[in-house]
Structure 1
């Protein structure tokens, strides 16, 4: 049993060494300008189990449509420190395909989103609600959330401002 485990371990380590060697060869080839696409594909599959994370936003696989917002910026005005406030933004599907809100990403942890999860049919309205907790802020603040929808210029940025007053 120990021999079998040792052989497996050596095989794995050996594969890793071969992979590292391939990576060194890849780097050398890149500097000489002779890298083939076959070796790129091989090296990627040997070193990653999944696609590398990117900063690109989530996208919907739905067909594109168009949308209109009732507003993209809201001013809460003066609020007391510690108040929890919310605002509802309406979004109307002005296109011919269903509008799908795939995600709403707030800019910070002080803002929590709710949104219409079902596809919004052409001519119908959906809602995006941003909940803001002012506990950790003083004075004027501006916050945002990115709304990922199946429109050409996604994400859509929603913003709000508030003037936070002491209690």
Structure 2
């Protein structure tokens, strides 16, 4: 029992550190001569650049079907997804340039083509619960050609053993 008490905080710490926000990754760059090389990691704080890129198009407005979703109780190891509906309520086409999840346990997918005024698009977040126990709150940043980018969407789950 003593060993369990010593190991439990370590396991919790490792779980929290294994899925932290703003992790960097090496990028593979293909040169004109078709050789590949590893580029330097992207800067951790590239949010300003992503906002500038997203807002470089004519601005519009959007409405989300919901900003937060609750999966409720999930069995550890389950993979679930939720679709957030996006409606363009502005006068210009809505362009979602990127959806950036908080960690690698969440995989985004979204409407890549411009969403015309009055039309709807989708943002899907797929969550893998295998690294978590208990209550979990996750979020993703949505970069689009709107005035207040990024837009935060989130979900929560109660991971059961």
TM-score, reference length from structure 1 = 0.67
After superposing on structure 2, the runs of 4+ consecutive aligned residues of structure 1 that deviate more than 2 Å are 52-55
**Which residue number in structure 1 is paired with residue 133 of structure 2?**
138
State yes or no: 1:107 paired with 2:102: yes
Report the Cα offset of residue 57 of structure 1: 4.6
Alpha-carbon distance between aligned partners in 1 of 2:146 and 2:87, rounded to the nearest angstrom: 12
**Which residue number in structure 1 is paired with residue 156 of structure 2?**
161
State yes or no: 1:80 paired with 2:90: no
Which structure has the bigger radius of gyration? 1
Report the Cα offset of residue 62 of structure 1: 1.0
Gap regions ≥5 residues in structure 2: 1-41
TM-score, reference length from structure 2 = 0.69
Alpha-carbon distance between aligned partners in 1 of 2:65 and 2:153, rounded to the nearest angstrom: 11
Q: RMSD of the alignment, in Å? A: 1.3
Matches within 5 A, 1:50-129: 53=43, 54-55=45-46, 56-58=48-50, 59-60=53-54, 61-129=56-124
Alpha-carbon distance between aligned partners in 1 of 2:128 and 2:151, rounded to the nearest angstrom: 22
Alpha-carbon distance between aligned partners in 1 of 2:49 and 2:136, rounded to the nearest angstrom: 25
Instruction: Name the one with the larger strand percent.
Output: 2
Alpha-carbon distance between aligned partners in 2 of 1:139 and 1:91, rounded to the nearest angstrom: 30
Alpha-carbon distance between aligned partners in 1 of 2:59 and 2:111, rounded to the nearest angstrom: 17
Gap regions ≥5 residues in structure 1: 1-51
Measured against aligned partners, the alpha-carbon deviations of 1:90-126 in whole angstroms (never above 9, x if no partner) come to 0000000000000000000000000000000000000
Alpha-carbon distance between aligned partners in 2 of 1:85 and 1:66, rounded to the nearest angstrom: 29
Instruction: Name the one with the larger helix percent.
Output: 1
Measured against aligned partners, the alpha-carbon deviations of 1:46-86 in whole angstroms (never above 9, x if no partner) come to xxxxxx95532513221000000000000000000000000
Matched positions, count: 115
